[in-house]
């Protein structure tokens, strides 16, 4: 069913329309269909006359499709390897006017594709295979070509799947299958392969493209754990051979198969939609205003930079079109800059300082790159996060408890330093420990606590540390009197340190355990002052919580514990555990860019320099959109009119 609702043209798109050639804007095959229709209908007749004839023809055909009111999806009608009446008309028109076009390009029209094969298509599948019928493209081929054409919105490169070769082969197939060609009416100087050979070649191209695309969508394009330091979560695995077999048997269509392996998280979907917009903006050739990199300005000052900043914010839709462009730093600009600072994880001072200038100067390529990184990282994530789960985004210093798409609880957190990075992994939280003890890792013992004890004798006793040693499979407490000065001066302290539970314990009043081999967990802390900072990478790797009591109450309540039990548990001062009857999946992630529930792009500093490593890996695999030329990714031989998914 087609979407016919009125599209609200945003300030950002009005700016782009004002600053770009209309024909170029119409040729953007990433342009959202509803926006495309709104722009076309708002264009004057004189402007329309300047449009290249092939683009104008595609526009008219597309708008005819948009204005249909049928409630039923349009059935593909395979013929001459093209589909639908409008599609064949567009193909014939393009073929007669521009050699670069052919019947294959009719697939870029905005018509919906069925997701399931009909009985007739099932019969042809058994006879001719998954990619062709006796004289036409199969539904699977139509879906795969459409998916490849749209691969860029997933941060992938359409030409990595031989799109150009597929389209060239398809155009040749179309030419060979014409009655005039079959009757031997070709020029004697034209040498074309046989139809059977070409069909085999086309099927091979499609199979290879499907395997690659399914693998990339399902598990990412690079070696995840080799690319990101301290990533301890294996990406999903995709059995492409089994998928291909199910295609051949007709159990799945291409669209169903690819949808089954691609991430279905709302966060992933929102990233693809923003990337679609950015690709369209890039294809128009419109450049954003660039401001000076240096200097600090604040409200009440006059400066030429202020005028450029306002122009930039109007272009990006962060200030309204009605903004008066003056060099005066007014209250409206302060509010707009605070919004930009919040979206980039900066201190919300409202000043035009160097970090804010850097954020404002992000190019379209910068934003495309940032989104492509997060899309790849989401492809590494488990497909099922759990209906109720805990989501920790390390660069955002944030911990959330979510029930589906609803956030039940959110709080700021402190994570590991650059030297002691918080790893990324997924594990089930199984219990909480109240008034916990702290068994100190040997690295912290030798590098921090023992040197402090040497400088301040009695420090460990004042902080309630016990000395332990292993005897067999047990830890046995050693009296302080037996620990000698020689022990404190050894390069490796021979005893374990364990801090008793209580008000001075480094873990605070509670810790939340998801047993793992990395000794990472969530816990309370004594250092509350750090939560007021913008940058909060100060821990030894564990995640410190700003509101642990709220998390404990929520988890126990969701797990079925009554209010009296919860109150009694929180009031106790002895060390004790509460096991969760139902474990809760806990995901520690590293996402420097995401689109929030309000559709706002959020970016955070790359505190562990993981982005740089992933950019290098994506470049080596020729997948990063920001490194591709316009002709390689934006104009892949097809004028793509993208529908709103």
DSSP state, residue 422: P
- Please, how many CA atoms are within 13 Å of residue 188, restricted to the half-sphere of its CB? 0
| Residue 635's pLDDT band (cuts 50, 70, 90) | very low
Mean pLDDT within 117-128: 71
Average of pLDDT values for 327-355? 96
Asked whether residue 459 is assigned to any structural domain, the reply reads: yes
β-bridge pairing 576-589 and 388-393:
parallel
Q: Name the nearest CA neighbour of 235 among 371, 373, 379, 384.
A: 379
Q: How confident is the model at residue 17 (pLDDT cuts 50, 70, 90)?
A: low
Segment 367-394 shows an average pLDDT of 97
Other C-beta atoms closer than 10 Å to the C-beta of 589 total 23
Least confident of 63-67, 178-182, 498-502: 63-67
Query: Do 144 and 71 fall into the same domain?
Result: yes
pLDDT the model gives residue 183: 45
pLDDT(633) > 60 = no
Q: Say if residue 303 is exposed, middle or buried (CB neighbours under 10 Å; 0-12, 13-18, 19+).
A: middle
DSSP-based three-state secondary structure for 244: helix
Average pLDDT of the residues in 140-160: 92
Given CA atoms 570, 574, 575, 581 in this order, what sign does their dihedral have?
Answer: negative
Same domain membership, residue 563 and residue 519: yes
- Which of 141-145, 617-621, 634-638 is the least confident region? 634-638
Model confidence at 73, in pLDDT bands (50, 70, 90)?
A: very low
Q: Are strands 78-79 and 496-499 parallel, antiparallel or unpaired?
A: unpaired
Q: Please indicate, yes or no, whether residues 198 and 123 belong to a single structural domain of this protein.
A: yes
Confirm whether 333 is domain-assigned: no
**pLDDT value at residue 427:** 98
- What does the pLDDT average to over 214-228? 96
Q: What mean pLDDT comes out for the span 501-511? A: 93
* Mean pLDDT, rounded, for 188-211: 78
What is the per-residue pLDDT for 631?
35
- Highest-pLDDT range among 62-66, 478-482, 632-636: 478-482
**Percent of residues, the chain, with pLDDT higher than 90:** 64
What is the rounded average pLDDT for all residues in the chain? 81
| CA dist 361 → 294, 319, 335, 519, 582 (Å) | 12, 16, 18, 40, 47
Beta carbons of 78 and 132 less than 8 angstroms apart: no
Residues 450, 509 share a domain: no
Q: What is the mean pLDDT of residues 277-300?
A: 91
For residue 503, name the pLDDT band (cuts at 50, 70, 90): confident
User: How far does Cα 176 stand from its chain's mean position?
Assistant: 42
**Residue 202 falls inside a structural domain:** yes
Give the whole-number percent of the chain exceeding pLDDT 70.
Answer: 75
The reply to whether 552 and 578 lie within a common domain is: yes
Q: Which domain holds residue 466?
A: 439-500
Residues 6+ apart with CB under 8 A from 241: none
Do 22 and 161 fall into the same domain?
yes
pLDDT at 108 exceeding the cut of 90 = no
pLDDT tens digits, one per residue of 299-314: 999 999 999 999 999 9
In a domain, 578, yes or no: yes
Q: Report the pLDDT value the prediction gives residue 64, as an integer from 0 to 100.
A: 42
Q: Residue 377: inside a domain, yes or no?
A: no
Q: Are residues 269 and 403 in the same domain?
A: no
Domain annotation covers residue 302: no
Residues 473 and 596 in one domain: no
What's the CA gap between 482 and 200, in Å, rounded? Answer: 82
Average pLDDT over residues 503-528: 95
Distances from the Cα of 481 to the Cα of 437, 461, 465, 531, 582, angstroms: 22, 12, 14, 39, 45
Give residue-wise pLDDT tens across range 311-324.
Answer: 999 998 999 999 99
Number of domains in the chain: 3
From CA 611, how far away is CA 590, in angstroms rounded?
10
What pLDDT is attached to residue 59? 39
- Residues 403, 521 share a domain: yes
Residues 425 and 475 in one domain: no
Residue 174 pLDDT level (bands cut at 50, 70, 90) = confident
Residue 363 clears pLDDT 60, i.e. is over it: yes
Q: How far apart are CA 489 and CA 492, in angstroms?
A: 8
Q: Is 150 left (phi over 0), alpha (psi -120 to 50) or beta?
A: alpha
More confidently predicted of 252 and 179: 252
pLDDT of res. 20: 58
Closest by CA to 275, choosing from 370, 149, 376, is 370
In a domain, 430, yes or no: yes
pLDDT at 96 over 60: no
Q: How high is the pLDDT of residue 622?
A: 76
Q: Are 84 and 74 in contact (CB under 8 A)?
A: yes
Which tokens in the block code for residue 157? 């490169």
> Are residues 393 and 470 located together in one domain of the fold?
no
Q: Which of 30-34, 191-195, 308-312, 606-610 has the lowest mean pLDDT?
A: 30-34
Model confidence at 436, in pLDDT bands (50, 70, 90)? very high
Confidence check: pLDDT of 25 > 80: no
**Per-residue confidence at 185, pLDDT binned at 50, 70, 90?**
very low
The residues that bridge with 416 in the sheet, in sequence order, are 539
CA 181 to chain centroid, in Å, comes to 47
Which CATH number does the domain housing residue 535 bear? 2.40.440.10
Q: Do residues 150 and 165 share a domain? A: yes
Cα–Cα distance measured from residue 225 to residue 27, given in angstroms and rounded to the nearest whole number = 39
Identify the three-state secondary structure at position 496: strand
Q: Distance between CA 320 and CA 299 in Å, rounded?
A: 19
Cβ proximity of 145 and 209 under 8 Å: no
Under a CB-based contact definition with an 8 Å cutoff, are residues 275 and 155 in contact?
yes
């Amino acid at each position: 069913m087609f979407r016919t609702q009125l599209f609200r043209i945003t300030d950002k798109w009005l700016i782009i329309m004002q600053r770009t050639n209309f024909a170029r804007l119409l040729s953007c095959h990433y342009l959202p269909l509803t926006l495309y229709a709104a722009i076309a209908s708002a264009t004057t007749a004189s402007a329309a006359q300047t449009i290249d004839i092939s683009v104008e023809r595609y526009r008219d055909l597309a708008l005819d499709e948009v204005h249909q009111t049928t409630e039923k999806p349009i059935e593909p009608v395979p013929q001459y390897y093209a589909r639908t009446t409008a599609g064949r008309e567009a193909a014939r028109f393009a073929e007669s006017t521009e050699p670069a076009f052919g019947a294959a390009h009719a697939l870029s029209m905005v018509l919906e594709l069925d997701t399931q094969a009909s009985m007739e298509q099932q019969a042809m599948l058994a006879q001719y295979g998954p990619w062709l019928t006796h004289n036409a493209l199969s539904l699977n081929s139509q879906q795969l070509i459409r998916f490849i054409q749209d691969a860029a919105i997933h941060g992938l490169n359409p030409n990595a799947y031989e799109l150009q070769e597929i389209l060239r082969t398809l155009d040749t197939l179309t030419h060979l299958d014409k009655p005039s060609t079959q009757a031997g009416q070709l020029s004697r100087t034209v040498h074309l392969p046989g139809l059977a050979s070409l069909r085999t070649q086309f099927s091979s191209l499609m199979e290879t493209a499907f395997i690659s695309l399914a693998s990339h969508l399902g598990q990412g394009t690079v070696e995840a754990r080799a690319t990101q330091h301290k990533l301890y979560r294996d990406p999903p695995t995709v059995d492409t051979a089994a998928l291909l077999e199910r295609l051949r048997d007709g159990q799945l269509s291409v669209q169903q198969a690819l949808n089954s392996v691609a991430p279905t998280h709302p966060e992933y979907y929102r990233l693809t939609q923003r990337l679609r917009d950015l690709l369209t903006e890039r294809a128009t050739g419109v450049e954003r205003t660039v401001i000076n990199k240096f200097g600090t300005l604040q409200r009440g000052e006059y400066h030429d930079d202020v005028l450029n900043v306002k122009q930039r914010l109007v272009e990006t839709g962060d200030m309204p079109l009605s903004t008066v462009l003056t060099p005066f730093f007014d209250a409206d600009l302060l509010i707009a800059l605070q919004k930009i600072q919040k979206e980039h994880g900066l201190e919300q001072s409202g000043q035009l300082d160097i970090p804010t200038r850097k954020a404002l100067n992000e190019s379209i390529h910068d934003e495309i790159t940032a989104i492509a990184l997060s899309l790849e990282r989401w492809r590494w994530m488990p497909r099922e996060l759990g209906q109720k789960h805990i989501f920790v985004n390390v660069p955002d210093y944030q911990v959330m408890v979510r029930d589906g798409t609803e956030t039940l609880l959110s709080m700021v957190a402190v994570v590991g330093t650059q030297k002691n990075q918080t790893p990324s992994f997924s594990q089930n939280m199984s219990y909480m420990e109240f008034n916990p003890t702290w068994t100190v890792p040997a690295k912290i013992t030798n590098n921090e606590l023992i040197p402090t004890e040497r400088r301040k004798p009695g420090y460990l006793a004042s902080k309630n540390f016990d000395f332990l040693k292993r005897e067999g499979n047990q830890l046995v407490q050693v009296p302080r009197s037996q620990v000698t000065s020689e022990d404190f001066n050894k390069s490796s302290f021979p005893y374990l340190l364990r801090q008793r539970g209580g008000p001075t314990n480094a873990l605070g009043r509670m810790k939340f355990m998801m047993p793992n081999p990395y000794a990472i967990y969530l816990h309370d802390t004594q250092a509350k002052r750090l939560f007021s900072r913008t940058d909060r990478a100060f821990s030894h790797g564990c995640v410190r919580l700003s509101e642990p009591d709220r998390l404990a109450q929520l988890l126990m309540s969701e797990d079925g514990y009554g209010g009296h039990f919860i109150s009694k548990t929180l009031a106790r001062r002895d060390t004790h555990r509460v096991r969760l009857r139902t474990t809760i999946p806990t995901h520690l992630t590293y996402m420097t860019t995401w689109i929030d529930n309000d559709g706002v792009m959020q970016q955070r500093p790359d505190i562990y320099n993981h982005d740089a490593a992933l950019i290098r890996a994506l470049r080596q695999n020729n997948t990063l959109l920001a490194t591709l030329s316009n002709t390689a990714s934006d104009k892949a031989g097809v004028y793509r009119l993208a529908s709103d998914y």
